[in-house]
Amino acid sequence: MSKSRNGENPRSVALVGPQGSGKSALFDALMEAAGAAVKRPADPRNRPATTSVRVGHCTYLNEAWSILDCPGSIEFAHEAYAALRMVDIAIVVCEPDPSRAATTGPLLRALAEQRLPHIVLINKIDTLDGSVSNTIAALQAYAASPLVLRQMPIMENGRAGGYVDLMSERAYRYRKGQPSELIRIPDSMLAEEAAARGQLVETLADRDDVLLEKVLEDIRPTPEELYLDMRKDLLAGAVIEVMLGAGEASHGVRRLWKALRHETPSAAETLDRKSISAEGPALAQVFRTEYAGHTGKLSYARIWRDEIKDGASLGGTRLGGIYHFLNGELSKSPSCVAGDVVALGRLDGVATGATVSPGIIPESLPFPPAPTPVYALAVTTADRKDDVRLSDALRKLAEEDPALTMTHDHESGETVLHGQGEMHLLSAVEHLAKGYNLKMTTRRPSIAYRETIRLAVHEHGRLKRQTGGHGQFADVKIDIKPRERGAGFLFVDKVVGGAVPRNFIPAVGEAAEEAAHKGPFGYQVVDVEVTLVDGGYHAVDSSDMAFRTATHMAMREGLAKADPVLLEPIDHVTISVPNDHTPRAQRLLTGRRGQILGFGEREGWAGWDDVEALVPGAELHDLIIDLRSQTQGLGTYRRSFDHLAEAKAPAKV
Ligand SMILES: Nc1nc2c(ncn2[C@@H]2O[C@H](COP(=O)(O)OP(=O)(O)O)[C@@H](O)[C@H]2O)c(=O)[nH]1
Ligand SMILES: [Mg+2]
């Protein structure tokens, strides 16, 4: 039992949905209705985009709640998907505009897969133009279970001024910032209301024989019967309840709270859904890591079982603080219990996704893998002195954000950030500036060009130097010829009669390979064969060093004469899009010098296609930006190196 929070049996809800649908405004409204102190923005039009999960704790009618406001942007979607694994219920916040329904598709799919009960909130009901039935029909195309509308808007002068609750058959008029006022169902709506309620009852009767009998015998079910059925079906994933509201004006927020109280599964029911045993030692799972100024490392975690007390040993580290987020501030608690979502302090060595249990190493619970990177930027410190601090900061950033990875390109010397889009990476760079005082410059990462030759040549390299007493002498004759693409570098020794003594030959081989690291265009030369055919030496003045130098001379001259050509990396690219965007995806690829290999249904994704193509790596830098802008943000792609090909036009290097 959470002594620090008034309630028992805490439950949690995640607010998810497309960017800009009003989740953060709804979060504020829910917290405010629960009596928490909330700082609403001075100008609601300037609500900042949410880039990481924000947690708030509150007590509503003596019950403890954690609310998780999730980012809507596709570039931070992994945060939302991690949060969904932790909660008892989700509210899918969307807009009335039916043309935006597709953006909710992937989310509805993930919710059905996890069997996480969810309510769809048609938010911004103040912007409703006409009826909600078009919105519901549009959303239904992406939902695995029937959407059941439980509220009907009351339209007054073309605007939604209130609603009829179809289960209780009560009508309410919205009042800004206050509980809605109970009114009579307008006479003009009676017929429409009866039809909508009939539909709701029929859908619920599909899974309830007793209710079905009543429908057939024309007996009116009581609201209580309907409430029970709705809860049962929602928990079973058999229906998706649809409600109406307007977060910014707090309309419909108390009705939503009532539904949450009634319908959200208990921590025990969630354990059951996730097939986690209710018996056993305390268990928690970390879903987010944050380095929070003086508080140090915070690990946001869901408590699955029993109770965890401050100071417990978790993942080999002593727990240094249990925090709730009360009235927008961190508040220390002595313990946390099953159902709670809290921040755990100073768990060094415990990573995002880790499952922990006091004193033991428990079995790991599933956690979504980090998404495949789709965008990259090379970063450089404005001041070279900061490079050491940069690597420490990047390590922390990667710990906070599993979707962010870094690589160091030895060839170009670049540090490259990989992530989910421009906004994602620029927010990481901003974090480096604000949180670590590291000023960075960013640019497009360099492409790993290669080069090769198209002609076979014979070359002679001769070193003869007399400096003071001891001289240097070496003479090599080599054949350089192209090999098949992908065959690599090969050194062959065909010296006969000791023209070059055996002990110097390895030095010639090594120097030839070394010389191939930088060809006439400045890139690594690949797929060449170098054969040492003849040479000469001097009994005193020859050395490994002398043979190396002579070989380098021969290679430099020879490669330049052998018709060198630049090779560019070609990637195998697979774009996934809803199939009405398939032609667009194809045009995007051909517009980037891509060669389409074909397209077909995306496995396991009804209504989606995979389009495959071979595309030069140099054309892929901003592919994701165009892809998203042309597909309502839905398109994704993955790539892998396929082969090197001669660059048709001299590439910009
Ligand atoms: N008309 C209207 N606008 C809203 C409502 N709720 C939020 N908004 C606006 O929609 C924009 C995005 O809201 P926000 O809560 O940040 O969306 P989020 O990305 O889902 O968190 C802001 O300009 C809000 O003021 C609402 O109920 N009605
Ligand atoms: Mg938000």
Please, is 251 exposed, middle or buried when counting C-beta atoms within 10 Å of its C-beta (0-12, 13-18, 19+)?
Answer: buried
**What is the C-alpha separation between 513 and 526, in angstroms, rounded?**
10
Residue 223 lies in a domain: no
Measure 24 CA to ligand 2 centroid, in angstroms.
4
Note the ligand closest to the C-alpha atom of 159. Answer: 1
Of the residues 509, 540, 562, which one is the last residue of a structural domain?
562
Q: Whose CA is nearest to atom 14 of ligand 1?
A: 22
Per-residue pLDDT, 4: 40
Q: Whose CA is nearest to atom 9 of ligand 1?
A: 22
Give the three-class secondary structure for 422: helix
Q: Whose CA is nearest to atom 7 of ligand 1?
A: 22
Structure tokens at 6: 């008034």
The number of angstroms, rounded, from the C-alpha of 65 to the middle of its chain's C-alpha atoms is 26
Nearest alpha-carbon partner for 10 in 60, 52, 66: 66
Q: Which atom of ligand 1 is nearest to the CA of 25?
A: 15
Q: Residue 174: how many CB atoms within 10 A of its CB?
A: 25
**Same-domain check for residues 63 and 84:** yes
Q: Is 50 in the pocket of ligand 1 (CB under 6 A)?
A: yes
Q: Is 44 in the pocket of ligand 1 (CB under 6 A)?
A: yes
Identify which of 19, 24, 94, 250 to mutate to test ligand 1's pocket (most ligand atoms within 8 A of the CB): 24
Measure 11 CA to ligand 1 centroid, in angstroms.
25
SS3 helix, strand, coil % of the chain, rounded to 5? Answer: 30, 35, 35
**Same-domain check for residues 606 and 584:** yes
Residue 6 lies in a domain: no
Number of domains in the chain: 5
Q: Is 23 in the pocket of ligand 1 (CB under 6 A)?
A: yes
**Same-domain check for residues 547 and 595:** no
Q: Whose CA is nearest to atom 1 of ligand 1?
A: 124
Q: Which atom of ligand 1 is nearest to the CA of 48?
A: 16
Q: The domain spanning residue 105 has which CATH number?
A: 3.40.50.300
Q: Which atom of ligand 1 is nearest to the CA of 245?
A: 27
- Say if CB 293 and CB 370 are below 8 A apart: no
Q: Is 20 in the pocket of ligand 1 (CB under 6 A)?
A: yes
Give the three-class secondary structure for 604: coil
**Same-domain check for residues 18 and 119:** yes
Note the ligand closest to the C-alpha atom of 247. Answer: 1
Q: Is 247 in the pocket of ligand 1 (CB under 6 A)?
A: yes
Nearest alpha-carbon partner for 628 in 619, 620, 637: 637
Give the three-class secondary structure for 607: coil
Half-sphere exposure of 593 (CA within 13 A, CB side): 15
Residue 166 lies in a domain: no
Q: Whose CA is nearest to atom 19 of ligand 1?
A: 20
The runs of H, that is alpha helices, within 348-475 are 387-400, 422-436
Residue 509 lies in a domain: yes
Identify which of 124, 127, 250, 255 to mutate to test ligand 1's pocket (most ligand atoms within 8 A of the CB): 124
Note the ligand closest to the C-alpha atom of 20. Answer: 1
Q: Which atom of ligand 1 is nearest to the CA of 17?
A: 20
> Given strand 414-419, what is the order of strands in its sheet?
405-409, 414-419, 375-381, 440-443
**What is the C-alpha separation between 282 and 356, in angstroms, rounded?**
8
Of the residues 547, 562, 577, which one is the last residue of a structural domain?
562
Mean pLDDT of the chain: 94
Q: The domain spanning residue 542 has which CATH number?
A: 3.30.230.10
Rg of the chain over all Cα atoms, to the nearest angstrom: 33
Measure 21 CA to ligand 1 centroid, in angstroms.
6
**Same-domain check for residues 614 and 535:** no
**Same-domain check for residues 268 and 293:** no
Q: Is 51 in the pocket of ligand 1 (CB under 6 A)?
A: no
**Same-domain check for residues 463 and 439:** no
Nearest alpha-carbon partner for 267 in 253, 251, 284, 254: 284
Measure 557 CA to ligand 1 centroid, in angstroms.
66
**Same-domain check for residues 30 and 148:** yes
Q: Is 123 in the pocket of ligand 1 (CB under 6 A)?
A: yes
- Tell me the pairing of strands 11-16 and 89-94: parallel
Please, is 140 exposed, middle or buried when counting C-beta atoms within 10 Å of its C-beta (0-12, 13-18, 19+)?
Answer: middle
**What is the C-alpha separation between 178 and 181, in angstroms, rounded?**
9
Per-residue pLDDT, 47: 93
Measure 621 CA to ligand 1 centroid, in angstroms.
32
Q: Whose CA is nearest to atom 22 of ligand 1?
A: 45
Q: Whose CA is nearest to atom 28 of ligand 1?
A: 124
Per-residue pLDDT, 175: 92
H or E element in which residue 474 lies: strand 471-482
Measure 146 CA to ligand 1 centroid, in angstroms.
26
Per-residue pLDDT, 130: 78
Q: Is 246 in the pocket of ligand 1 (CB under 6 A)?
A: yes
**What is the C-alpha separation between 38 and 31, in angstroms, rounded?**
7
**Same-domain check for residues 515 and 597:** no
Measure 506 CA to ligand 1 centroid, in angstroms.
70
Residue 438 lies in a domain: yes
Note the ligand closest to the C-alpha atom of 44. Answer: 1
Measure 653 CA to ligand 1 centroid, in angstroms.
45
Of the residues 322, 356, 390, which one is the last residue of a structural domain?
356
Per-residue pLDDT, 144: 94
Measure 19 CA to ligand 1 centroid, in angstroms.
9
Per-residue pLDDT, 649: 52
Q: Which atom of ligand 1 is nearest to the CA of 47?
A: 16
**Same-domain check for residues 461 and 603:** no
Residue 622's domain spans which residues? 568-646
Measure 57 CA to ligand 1 centroid, in angstroms.
21
H or E element in which residue 547 lies: helix 544-561
Q: Which atom of ligand 1 is nearest to the CA of 93?
A: 20
- Say if CB 635 and CB 585 are below 8 A apart: yes
Residue 79 lies in a domain: yes
Q: Is 419 in the pocket of ligand 1 (CB under 6 A)?
A: no
**What is the C-alpha separation between 351 and 353, in angstroms, rounded?**
6
Q: pTM of the prediction?
A: 0.92
Q: Whose CA is nearest to atom 12 of ligand 1?
A: 20
Residue 186 lies in a domain: no
Residue 188 lies in a domain: no
Q: Is 45 in the pocket of ligand 1 (CB under 6 A)?
A: yes
- Say if CB 492 and CB 534 are below 8 A apart: no
- Say if CB 553 and CB 615 are below 8 A apart: no
Q: Residue 281: how many CB atoms within 10 A of its CB?
A: 12
Q: Whose CA is nearest to atom 11 of ligand 1?
A: 20
The runs of H, that is alpha helices, within 104-189 are 105-114, 133-140
**What is the C-alpha separation between 381 and 442, in angstroms, rounded?**
9
Sign, CA dihedral 225-231-237-243, equals positive
Q: Whose CA is nearest to atom 23 of ligand 1?
A: 45
Mean pLDDT, consecutive 10-residue stretches, the chain (653 aa), reads 55 97 98 95 92 96 97 96 98 96 95 97 93 94 95 93 95 90 95 94 94 92 94 96 96 96 97 95 97 91 97 96 95 96 96 96 95 97 90 94 94 93 96 94 95 98 86 97 96 96 97 97 96 96 97 98 97 97 98 97 94 97 97 96 84 46
**Same-domain check for residues 611 and 594:** yes
Q: Which atom of ligand 1 is nearest to the CA of 27?
A: 15
Q: Is 251 in the pocket of ligand 1 (CB under 6 A)?
A: no
Q: Whose CA is nearest to atom 10 of ligand 1?
A: 22
Q: Which atom of ligand 1 is nearest to the CA of 72?
A: 19
**Same-domain check for residues 24 and 131:** yes
Q: The domain spanning residue 311 has which CATH number?
A: 2.40.30.10
Q: Which atom of ligand 1 is nearest to the CA of 246?
A: 27
Note the ligand closest to the C-alpha atom of 71. Answer: 2
